[in-house]
Structure 1
């Protein structure tokens, strides 16, 4: 049993106190948004934003869940696209990174140059839209999945640099034992790359969950709206109706509280996912960003 000195115990106590206060400080903006979302709209106009609402109201949430079936369907679409898209994107990125680190692949550095080129230049929206339409990515769930599967070159180089830091003797030993590239990648290298793969999974998950661009460009069917685009459209309709009614009219829709309620509804899955990945997050960024 290790006996700590009084100075060491004092230092540990101060560190824990500081981290507790820092965590509470980080939580305050979320609490602030939550309190505003349950504040009456007239009280917001009269008193402004406050941690202590002058009058509570659940009108914003009642309005959002007025058609519960629609918003739950949008949540289901977003969850499906986020989970499936993240798994596919991480797998594709990891396989591409393995190709760029495999010494048996000729011109792998030239291939890396092509990927790097996409970080500097883009074809633009019009070619992107035309290609998506030619591929049949229109009014189907693939329109929400496939365009974002053209993975980020930044994530690719993050994984590649991580793999380059691993001993290449692992790959050579696997080849001597008769393993092919698929076995080497999925049974040996990818398990060792959990930190960086978890890091890019968080990146891809955030991108898929927050994506509304693909929906607004490629989807017209309301049954395929992801939750972000559904709430964005609902909020735009509320703001338009508020402007038509006028700020002084009675029965004005809760535009301000709906904004905050929308934020509360959309942060849930990300808040739940991050604790499971945060232990890999810093390690994946630090180790994957340099070649050791």
Structure 2
């Protein structure tokens, strides 16, 4: 009987490992394929299609993108600055609002909580937002227009407030009885206990800022202030124009342009930093999932 149970457990373990290995490969192989195509020769792609083992290697795609390295590096710097400042300030403001709304002692928590939720139901639209940001706040073609609109999210406030509700109230009450102010409780007790939630929301905000390109397209005129994603979008537009000219016989030099590999190279340049950042947040995701499973 015991031997049969052990065999059953081994079989379940093998099945679990196989399933999760296949899931991991389904995530890793596409990413690996993107990297390999970005350094593949365009003729090899045309003749043999996408392959993990291309017949010819080439760095032409990266050479094309980095024709203006100063512009790329400036765009990287702008994107990094906006992402770091926006994430840090936005996460701090979100945590402060969520903590205030989670305190039963705050008599306006219900009203403000309703207003926060109500803001999720309606959107002012592009044209009113453009008028407000440019005509009244004078934010056009400034770094602030890249940071301020994404600072506060009603959804993030609700998520963090829910997490604060689940914190042990006995600890907060004991600290209050011992003479701790609300600000000290927030900084020294609540924030350290909320690392999983803060890391999760912080990563979502980081991804939001890093992948943002529409605000650069609408509000930014100076090329040195372009976000990385929008700059890559413009490079891709120029590449498409070159390919159309080559097809129409207007540009002979563009016939050998690495169109497919250039697109993949842009994906590598844009996604690379985020791929390196995620492992630092992984342990907090695991803690958050474990805590959620225990509470459930």
- Give TM-score, length-normalised by structure 1: 0.88
1:219–1:225 CA contact under 8 A, matched in 2: yes
- How far residue 276 of structure 1 moved from its aligned partner, in angstroms, is 1.1
CA distance in 2, matches of 1:289, 1:107: 32
CA distance in 1, matches of 2:284, 2:219: 35
1:235–1:259 CA contact under 8 A, matched in 2: yes
1:132–1:147 CA contact under 8 A, matched in 2: no
- How far residue 91 of structure 1 moved from its aligned partner, in angstroms, is 0.6
- How far residue 52 of structure 1 moved from its aligned partner, in angstroms, is 2.5
CA distance in 2, matches of 1:286, 1:220: 46
CA distance in 2, matches of 1:226, 1:44: 30
Q: Which residue of 1 aligns with 2:268?
A: 264
Change (3 A) 1:285 1:210: farther
Q: Which residue of 1 aligns with 2:3?
A: none
Q: Which residue of 2 aligns with 1:33?
A: 34
**Aligned with 1:178: secondary structure?**
coil
CA deviation profile, 1:90-118 (whole Å, cap 9, x unmatched): 11110010010112211211211111112
**Aligned with 1:146: secondary structure?**
helix
CA distance in 1, matches of 2:264, 2:66: 14
Gaps of 5+ in 2: 1-5
CA distance in 2, matches of 1:94, 1:9: 45
CA distance in 2, matches of 1:108, 1:289: 28
Alignment of structure 1 residues 128-277 onto 2, 5 Å:
128-133=129-134, 134-149=136-151, 151-246=152-247, 250-252=252-254, 253-277=257-281
Gaps of 5+ in 1: 1-5
CA distance in 1, matches of 2:240, 2:294: 47
Q: How many pairs were matched up?
A: 287
Residue 279 (1) aligns with residue 283 (2): yes
CA deviation profile, 1:66-89 (whole Å, cap 9, x unmatched): 111111111111111111111111
- How far residue 12 of structure 1 moved from its aligned partner, in angstroms, is 6.3
Q: Which residue of 2 aligns with 1:3?
A: none
CA distance in 2, matches of 1:268, 1:109: 42
Q: Which residue of 2 aligns with 1:48?
A: 49
Q: Which residue of 2 aligns with 1:85?
A: 86
Change (3 A) 1:193 1:247: farther
1:101–1:160 CA contact under 8 A, matched in 2: yes
- How far residue 286 of structure 1 moved from its aligned partner, in angstroms, is 7.1
CA distance in 2, matches of 1:126, 1:178: 50
- Aligned-residue CA RMSD (Å): 2.6
CA distance in 2, matches of 1:288, 1:128: 37
